[in-house]
Amino acid sequence: MASRKNIYFYYHKNTGLENKLERLFELALKNDFTIVDEPKDANIIVSVGGDGAFLQAVRKTGFRQDCLYTGITYSDEAGLYCDFNLDTFDDMLFAMEHEAMEVRRFPLIDVQVNGNTSFHCLNEVSVRSTIIKSIVINVYIDDKHFEAFRGDGLVVATPTGSTGYSKSTHGAVIDPLIPCFQVSELASLNNNRYRTLGSSFVLSQDRKLRLEIVQDGNDHPIVGLDNEAYSIRNIQDINVTLSDKVIKTVKLKNNSYWDRVKRTFL
């Protein structure tokens, strides 16, 4: 870990939290780590505040491919992206110093809106109606029409994102070692006139998903990118593919993804 000594802390600044973080800063300095003010100067980016803060840290620092991310929760929180909490920060430093950790790689999805604006997502992209009316979306897989969805919207999740919004729609929890992404429905209409698959489905890393928004008055839906809303009028289509980029995170050797799923949900 000698080459990874520059740490950037990402957190929402407030006096109470900064007082708690003083001990973390002291421990980092005591263990010969350097705290930097800019994420571009960091080898390690540490988020403080749970999974939401972790997603924001990754997004706000540009989905860095040349550094490690790790997350710290508050003492009474569990986190699927976070191996540590405020009471065990010294365990993280010890793990880095003594190689008692592994690097976990989380897949991203690439999202392109209207053929020209591109984004990465670590959790999911969601498309939802903004008015009290169902949204109609033509779903294409590898440029072949699959279904005409009518309902509240669709969620396209990464494997790690499968434990979030996607799970709340009865999607499957997917092992992040499987290179894929999952599509889940939000309150689909299924009757004699309208018909969709009615369940989540999983696409492999080589598939391309295209969502065409039918322009019937619902042509500027809410598009959620992880935990941020993207606002644009006249959204015509959204293309989703599995990215060739990954987010590298610090993982304790005795704390697997499924350990954390069990701790969070069971």
As a whole number of angstroms, the distance between CA 85 and CA 24 comes to 11
Reduced to 3 states (helix: H, G, I; strand: E, B; else coil), residue 245 is strand
Give the angle 259-262-266 at the CA atoms, nearest 5°: 160
Could you please report the per-residue DSSP string of 62-75? T--SSSEEEEEE-T
Q: Coil, strand, or helix at residue 195?
A: coil
Measured in residues, the chain has a length of 266
β-pairing, 209-213 with 237-252? antiparallel
Cβ(242)–Cβ(107) below 8 Å? yes
Catalytic residue numbers, as ranges: 51
d(CA 187, CA 53): 28
What are 157's two structure tokens?
């999740």
What is each CA distance from 218 to 186, 209, 248, in whole angstroms?
A: 15, 20, 38
Strand partners, 145: 140
Contacts of 116 (CB under 8 A, 6+ apart): none
Q: Which residues contact 120 (CB under 8 A, 6 or more apart)?
A: 59, 63, 108, 109, 110, 111, 243, 245
Using alpha carbons only, give the angle 110, 79, 171 rounded to the nearest 5 degrees.
55
